[in-house]
Amino acid sequence: MIKYYIEEEVDFMSNVLPNHVAIILDGNGRWAKKRLMPRTFGHKAGSDNLVELAKYCNRIGLKNLTVFCFSTENWSRPSDEVKFLMALLKDVFERIFKKMDEGIKIKVVGEKENLSQDILDIVEKVENKTKDNTGLNLNIAFNYGSRDEIIHAVKEMVENKEEITK
């Protein structure tokens, strides 16, 4: 669960900030379960924190934030949970879309297959609307997985080798 506490913002922060921060969004379901709440409660709380975190990172001048929010392995979760997560993804994009005045540039990376057309439409809308923004670059890694990345890399290497040997 992403949670951050800021007692006061300090002017020197922009001098010590890294160029890029990456976060794996994990543990929201376990966080909720410890509080005797449904896993979906944790996912919703995590998404609320993500929106606030992105706005904060933008405000302090962080240039790049990548969040890994749904791996290929997550498709094997119970179908009700996956449906909830897809609806939550759409909701997060709609909430971010209403905050375009924040100056955040949003890019979704990863495989977009398996996404419904309504989610693809809002992803495209948000990416197009924010493409010229100059604030935080928020990269949302969706439908990614280490196994898939390795397979993709090997296939690309084989294709490149075939092209080189021609």
Catalytic residue among 26, 49, 64, 91: 26
Catalytic residue among 11, 15, 19, 74: 74
Q: For residue 140, what are the contacts with CB-CB under 8 A and spacing of at least 6? A: 66, 67, 69, 106, 107, 108, 109
Active site residue 74: yes
| Cross-strand partners of 23 | 67
Active site residue 26: yes
Helix (H) or strand (E) holding 107: strand 105-109
Short-list 161, 106, 109, 95, CA closest to 128: 106
- List residues with catalytic annotation: 26, 74
